[in-house]
Amino acid sequence: MAVVFDHPKSLLDVSTHFCPGCGHGIVHRLVCEVIDEMGIEGDTIGVVPVGCSVMSYNYFGCDVIEAPHGRAPAVATGVKRVNPDKFVFSYQGDGDLAAIGTAETVHVGTRGENIVVIFINNTTYGMTGGQMAPTTLPGQVTQTTPFGRNVETNGYPIRVCEMMATLSGTALAQRVAIDSVPHIREAKKAIRKGFENQKEKRGLSIIEVLSTCPTNWGLSPEESMEFVKDQMIPYYPLGVYKDVTAEEGKKA
């Protein structure tokens, strides 16, 4: 009988610390499936953030560096510049990437660093217990916005892909989600495209994944998927915000 679904080889066979219904497990799996399909585990170096995925060095089978908070893109730059033939990706949450690490994120785009950034947007600081993130939706209740995010005092959520798409060095800026099987398939395709871009030295690929945090949202895993669909996607429309390969196609 043919095996059609198996544990990815580059995802270590250990239990994760992620909560039930958390999207990290799905995205970890997608990244590792892509690494397996491309046969690049031995040539890949992952850079993980501070946040819920801080301990992903226990899950990814490739070599992994745990970066200071928000600095994963800078760490990945250092790795890639001295190892231009290796595959380098950073895996970051919203607080890490779009608050404390905004400068590092923007500048890997401006420099067109030939790396892949996997950006998990779940609208909250998960590990510290659910505080307001730069991506927390207007009106959303968190530990530090107990009456809902008031945009007049807390500012507006940041749309990362739209911002990154404006940068000349960005090769791919795409927003995907994990709330349904078709969306998960789309997410995997985007991640694959990111790693292919790196192989072809096209510049920075950022894949924003709208993900879940049932624990801090106070929702069941199922309700969390509904939250992604009903609340997040309308504010953060899915789609390709920049794709240099499509632009090349058009020119041709």
Partner 1 sequence: MKGNEALAEAAIRAGCKCFFGYPITPQTELSAYMAKRMEKSGGVFLQAESEIAAINMVLGAASTGVRAMTSSSSPGVSLKAEGISYMAGSDLPAVIINVQRGGPGLGSIQPAQSDYYQATHAMGHGDFHILVYAPCSVQEMVDVVMLAFDKADQYRIPVMILADGLLGQMMEPVTFPEPRTELPDKSDWAACGHGGKREHHVINSLYLDAPLLEAKVQERFKRYAVIEETETDAELYCCGDAEIVVTAYGASARVAKSAVTAARRKGIQAGLFRPKTLWPFPKKELCEATKHAKQILDVEMSMGQMVDDVRLATECRLPVAFFGRTGGVIPTPEEVLAEIEKLAGGAE
Shortest Å distance, C-beta 35 to partner 1? 12
For residue 173, what are its two tokens? 């800026």
Using the minimum distance from each CB to partner 1, give the nearer residue, 206 or 210: 206
| Residue 107 touches partner 1, criterion: CB under 8 A | yes
How is 70-130 classified by DSSP, letter by letter? T-HHHHHHHHHHH-TTSEEEEEEEHHIIIIITHHHHHHHHHTT-S-EEEEEE-SEETTTTS
Contact 102, 117 (CB under 8 A): no
* Residues of span 168-187 touching partner 1 by CB under 8 A: none
- Per-position x/- string for 53-92, each x denoting binding to partner 1 as judged by CB under 8 A, each - no binding: -xx-xx-xxxxxxxxx--x--xxxxxxxxxx--x------
Report which of 164, 185, 165 is spatially closest to residue 34, judged by C-alpha positions.
185
Q: Quick one: DSSP state of residue 230?
A: I
Note the maximum CA span of the chain: 59
Query: In terms of DSSP bridges, do strands 116-121 and 204-210 run parallel, antiparallel, or are they unpaired?
Result: parallel
Options 106-114, 143-151, 180-188, 206-214: segment touching partner 1 (CB under 8 A): 106-114
Which listed residue (36, 43, 196, 223) binds partner 1 by CB under 8 A? 43
CA distance 13 to 80: 27
Options 98-106, 134-142, 164-172, 173-181: segment touching partner 1 (CB under 8 A): 98-106
Encoded amino acid at 232, one letter: M
Shortest Å distance, C-beta 36 to partner 1? 12
Shortest Å distance, C-beta 240 to partner 1? 26
Q: Name the residues that contact partner 1, by CB under 8 A.
A: 12, 41-45, 47, 54-55, 57-58, 60-68, 71, 74-83, 86, 103-104, 106-107, 110
